[in-house]
Chain A
Amino acid sequence: MSDAHNYTSDENPYLPKPARIIRTLPQILDHQLFQIRFEKEEMINNFTYRPGQFVMLSVIGTGEAPFSISSSPTRPGIIELCVRRIGHVTNALFKLPPNAPVGIRGPYGNGFPLDKLEGNNLLLVAGGLGMAPLRSLLRYALDNRSKFKDVILMYGARNPDDMLFKYELLELIEQPDVKCLLTVDTDNSGMWKAHVGVVTTLFDHAEIDPNNTYAAICGPEIMFKYVLEELLKRNFSKNRILMSLERNMQCGVGKCGHCMVGYKYTCLDGPIFNYWDAINLPEMV
């Protein structure tokens, strides 16, 4: 094999690129938006990605974990990751001091198929932390507004205090070029001005043409189920329903095996799958 594989490349895909957390913006309880910048100018300038892609973030000494990117490639220079404090790596991440060094590899995964999405209406349906990857697509669409027809966001949270990117999204309600529908399951504050009810109730407030629309869904499993029902009821083609899936990932590059579902690697072939692919993969939904 020696001459067949005369290995010369020094590109090691597992080596994180040095970066720093330049700012941390608290969101809701146990959720923060981390703004991260690469150390090297070359990386800052060349790093680009598609909405829906993810990076592997290292807290050196603790470990590495995948995070979907919440910022948009239309605003280069800084990567934003919206993180829930939930496990080994995120616990350590939340404890880091300002300006702490971290490692970033990526971007990985397929991301949303922008070439297919362009020229269509976009319907984004998010629940809970599912807003993290969809915020990237939302910002991308608003920054490239002419490339898309109607842009509709439906986002549900348990209550107003649980809504990610709340102020930024509330501002969008007034904006004419996007239909921003926000809802909460319950509102005890009495201050909530938008909708109350589960996210599927928002479907009554928007006109959606299934033939010219791509739906992108991200949220908890139970939400997937009801939103899918709603979309299928409206005759959405399964190929026009896109979902972002979560799995255990340890390499991000299709080797370590953990994210394998049926015959797809979530890290290479996903994390964005269309619904047809998803129902053909055992264990997927």
Chain B
Amino acid sequence: MKIITLPKENFAEFVGHLCSFGEIHAPIKRGDRSFVFAPVKDASEIELDCVRTILPLKKYFFRPMEVMFNFCAGEGYEIPSEVTDKRIVVFGAHPCDIHGLNILDMVFNGRYVDTYYLARKSKAAIIGLDCIPDDLCFCRSTRTDFVDTGFDLFLSDIGDKYLVRVGTSLGDDMVRAAESLFYEVQKEDRDAYKRKSIERRESFKTEIQLQDLPGIMDLEYESQVWQDVGETCLSCGTCSMVCPTCYCYSVFDELDLDGSSGRRKRRWDCCLFKDYALVAGGHNFRAKRSSRVKNRYFHKQRGFVSLYGRPSCVGCGRCKAQCPSGIDIVDVITKLRSETRV
């Protein structure tokens, strides 16, 4: 992989160059202590120290709500052109964010291709940025604290410079567009990177053991833990909305008053909603909240492993940070594990 450095004093100018590759989106502040990815005009607006945004990057490619196609009697179906229009540059994606997108890439590709997601994804450049974990981050446990694919450029803070890994040809184009701002990697840069890497590794405060979790989940299928979480869970949907890898959606038709034209839409759905597994006729395969909670953990930590070879949790901490009733995934998993040890 091509690796170069960008002195921090050149950063703002580099960001200035990026707008020729699309609208720049980066973390900015919202509310007292929250952050969101949103359009920025220049580098000064970017919150470089943001640990996590409210919504992950999926919002750009898999929209909270979107029109799948319009319909009109006698004229058939028409896909909205918006899907393929706009180029964006996402700056400041953390390794867990990028892993989240890589997981969605797997889901939305496959035998059938989700054209909406992929059309938007193909129009976006991803520039990663490393970060210092807070108390809620457990991406080291999920092995998503480092990323080697899924970005065009990735910036690591090594003091007064960024070490820049170039992931794609588009990333290289972005570098070439501002070539004079970049430098070759020196020995002291390599040393600084390695030093920082250790520092970062040692700053993780939360750790859970996940490797053998699928087996433990099978073993603890009837655990009281699920009942307890079911009593606390509000079924409010927050954890799914903010999860980088929750991809469930619900499809519905919306009619115009003429009764013949309208649109088919989809919106983010959540497996904790009461009617998630409801079938026509009224049978609900997961009528109890505890069974829905269990299904959610099972899917992330057990089912996804069988389907795609890895758990779908990226350890970003959003579900804990945003849960109104304070359900903590690390806590739930720890309880499951300790029950096994007894």
Contacts and interface: CB of A to CB of B under 8 A. Distances in A.
Please tell me whether chains A and B touch each other in their complex, using a CB distance cut-off of 8 A. yes
Interface of A: 1-7, 9-16, 18, 58, 60-65, 84, 86-90, 103, 246-248, 250-251, 253-258, 260-265, 268, 282-283
B340 to A, nearest CB: 17
Contacts of A16: 77
B271 A257 contact: yes
B279 interface: yes
Contacts of A88: 280
Contact of A2 (B111, B152, B303): B152
Given A3-B170, A61-B253, A260-B303, 10 more contacts: A5-B118, A7-B115, A9-B113, A61-B71, A64-B251, A87-B280, A90-B280, A248-B279, A256-B249, A282-B221
Given A2-B152, A3-B168, A61-B71, A258 B248 contact: yes
A15 B114 contact: no
Given A61-B255, A89-B280, A18 B249 contact: no
A257 B303 contact: no
Contacts of A10: 115
A4 B168 contact: yes
B20 to A, nearest CB: 14
B189 interface: no
Contacts of B101: 1
A264 B286 CA distance: 16
A263 B303 contact: yes
B294 to A, nearest CB: 8
B111 A253 contact: yes
11 contacts: A2-B122, A7-B121, A58-B264, A61-B259, A63-B253, A86-B280, A255-B112, A256-B269, A257-B247, A258-B277, A268-B111
A9 to B, nearest CB: 7
Main secondary structure of the interface of B (DSSP, over half): mixed
B276 interface: yes
Contact of B276 (A6, A61, A248, A254): A248
Interface stretch (B45-53, B102-110, B133-141): B102-110
Given A11-B115, A61-B259, A256 B250 contact: yes
Contacts of A89: 280
A264 B151 CA distance: 30
Interface in B53-110: 68-69, 71, 73, 76-77, 79, 101, 105, 107-108, 110
Given A12-B79, A15-B79, A247 B251 contact: no
A258 B273 CA distance: 11
A61 B250 contact: no
Given A18-B76, A246-B279, A262 B169 contact: no
Contact of A257 (B71, B79, B152, B249): B249
Main secondary structure of the interface of A (DSSP, over half): loop
B122 A63 contact: no
Contacts of A87: 280-281
A18 B78 CA distance: 13
A247 B299 CA distance: 16
Given A14-B68, A14-B69, A60-B253, A1 B152 contact: yes
Nearest to A269: B307
Given A5-B105, A255-B114, A263 B279 contact: no
Contacts of B152: 1-2
Contact of A12 (B71, B115, B259): B115
B122 A5 contact: yes
A62 B251 CA distance: 11
Interface string B118-149: 11011111100000000000000000000000
A86 B126 contact: no
B287 to A, nearest CB: 11
Contacts of B252: 63
B39 interface: no
A111 B219 CA distance: 32
Given A2-B170, A16-B77, A256-B248, A62 B253 contact: yes
B262 A255 contact: no
B112 A253 contact: yes
Contact of A247 (B79, B114, B124, B279): B279
A248 B277 contact: yes
A-B pairs, 9 with minimum CB distance: A87-B280, A257-B248, A263-B306, A253-B112, A263-B303, A7-B122, A13-B112, A86-B281, A12-B115
Contacts of A283: 285-286, 291, 295
Contact of A61 (B76, B79, B262): B262
Contacts of B277: 247-248, 258
A247 B271 CA distance: 14
Nearest to B107: A255
